[in-house]
Amino acid sequence: MRAVLVIADGMADRPIKELQWRTPLEAARRPALNQLAANGVSGILDPIAPGIPPGTDTATLALLGYDSLKVYSGRGALEAVGSGVEVLPGDVAFRCNFATVDQNFVVLDRRAGRIANEDAAKLAESLQKVKLKKSLNVEFFFKNTVQHRAALVIRGHSLSTAISDSDPETTGKPVLETKSLSDLPEAKRTARIVNELTREFHKVLKKHPVNKKRAEHKLPVANMILCRGPGTIPKIAPLSEVYGIKAACIAAVPLIRGVCKIAGMKLINVKGATGTVQTDYMAKAKAAVEALKTNDFVLLHVKATDVASHDRNFKLKIEVVQKIDEMLRFMLEHVSSDSTYLAVTADHTTSCMTGNHVGDPVPVVISGPYVRRDGVAEFGERSCARGDLNRIKGADLMHTLMDLLEKTKKFGA
């Protein structure tokens, strides 16, 4: 027995007036999802707890069976690991943006015009050469990832994540000084290091040839690095140890790849998988079918539903759901229904009205040979609420799947 879990990021939603108070999922053509419901057991799931908006990081940890309220230690390290940056225990890692600021350090563009990978790579190479004062006794690693995104890892003695972001998370406001959020000397030291890096990075960026060229071409210059989400590696046992399984991950976005890597899963690279709405859905489906041949458990993550939601574009969200449905159709046709459990859920509800993650539960279905089929014939936020799984918590799903695979341990005797 094997299992594949498809996570459609932010797929769940609230009812939308323009859709006659249906959700985008409910409004989408979704024959494969409905077939899964008909052949499965459905329910709703609180990734963290009712009414608590989950982050993609905390929710994915929960969906992999971990207690994210206990193990979560910030997004930065997860994303850095997912970008192929090494993060060791004790390191503090940040999510960074290349940004555009004016002479008063007021942020004009948080993404420096969504700077191209090539430009960002050249800038990152120069930033890595910055020499910090010896007295700080610290190393750093800076790497660009996709477009304006980058990771910063600082490594040395006595570091802390109890510091504030330098990223104001909006335009029109100045870059923030990173402050210690604790009286511990580690926090004060870490804040000093980040502030020092911010200043030194700016010195290099403002006179960099890449930026001079960008200015000539009327492109926003990438003259600032904004840092946010300081984090360390969560202390979790890999899935191979928890369940004795071989597990693989098919995901394009660094954050998910980071979570899965830390969970000991094999990261499968799929050509055309981009983490955008234009991702190659079918390529991911094929990769999942292939991965199932050599793995007990495969996680397939699609970011596009969340992208459409954050853009408040419910029409696009419907289209993405329909693409996901076609992807699932392919999987249904190419995995053995006798020996495969296929589960689908979302990591959180993202409202197309507000563009934000919200705390509503998400629908979930587990389809496969020995589940207690419940007569739910549609996959949706409301139809699944009437399914026999009832209302479960994030980590319950993985436990249930692993139990179907006979990979759980009896509690008691």
50 touches a second copy (CB under 8 A)? yes
Stretch that binds a second copy, among 121-129, 153-161, 245-253, 381-389 (CB under 8 A): 381-389
59 touches a second copy (CB under 8 A)? yes
Q: What part of residues 202-241 is at the interface with a second copy (CB under 8 A)?
A: 229
372 touches a second copy (CB under 8 A)? yes
Count residues contacting a second copy (CB under 8 A)?
A: 62
Q: Which of 10, 24, 40, 55 binds a second copy (CB under 8 A)?
A: 55
69 touches a second copy (CB under 8 A)? yes
Question: To 5 degrees, how large is the angle CA 172–CA 145–CA 142?
Answer: 85
CA-based nearest residue to 274, from 253, 305, 299, 301 = 253
Q: Which is nearer to a second copy, 50 or 185 (CB)?
A: 50
Stretch that binds a second copy, among 66-74, 133-141, 142-150, 194-202 (CB under 8 A): 66-74
Query: At its nearest, how many Å lie between a second copy and the CB of residue 192?
Result: 24
19 touches a second copy (CB under 8 A)? no
CA-based nearest residue to 120, from 93, 147, 80 = 147
Residue type, 374: D
Q: What part of residues 75-134 is at the interface with a second copy (CB under 8 A)?
A: 75, 95
Query: At its nearest, how many Å lie between a second copy and the CB of residue 301?
Result: 15
Stretch that binds a second copy, among 81-89, 153-161, 316-324, 397-405 (CB under 8 A): 397-405
CB 405 within 8 A of CB 297: yes
139 forms beta bridges with 155
390 touches a second copy (CB under 8 A)? yes
Query: At its nearest, how many Å lie between a second copy and the CB of residue 61?
Result: 8
Stretch that binds a second copy, among 140-148, 191-199, 262-270, 347-355 (CB under 8 A): 347-355
Give the position of tokens 């419907």: 318
Residue 316: CA count within 13 A, CB half-sphere: 15
Neighbours of 194 (CB within 10 A): 25
Q: Which is nearer to a second copy, 111 or 386 (CB)?
A: 386
Query: At its nearest, how many Å lie between a second copy and the CB of residue 376?
Result: 11
CA-based nearest residue to 301, from 364, 345, 264 = 345
Query: At its nearest, how many Å lie between a second copy and the CB of residue 146?
Result: 16
User: Residues, the chain, total?
Assistant: 413
First to last CA, the chain: 24
CA-based nearest residue to 345, from 294, 263, 296, 400 = 400
Query: At its nearest, how many Å lie between a second copy and the CB of residue 251?
Result: 16
80: CB partners within 8 A, 6+ apart: 87, 93, 94, 95, 143, 151, 152, 153, 254, 258
The number of angstroms, rounded, from the C-alpha of 349 to the middle of its chain's C-alpha atoms is 14
CB 32 within 8 A of CB 380: no
Q: Which of 27, 48, 247, 265 binds a second copy (CB under 8 A)?
A: 48
93 forms beta bridges with 153, 231
Lookup: tokens for 406 = 């006979």
Residues that bind a second copy (CB under 8 A): 14-15, 21, 23, 44, 48-59, 68-69, 72, 74-75, 95, 229, 351, 353-354, 356-360, 370-375, 381-382, 385-386, 388-393, 396, 398-403, 406, 408-413
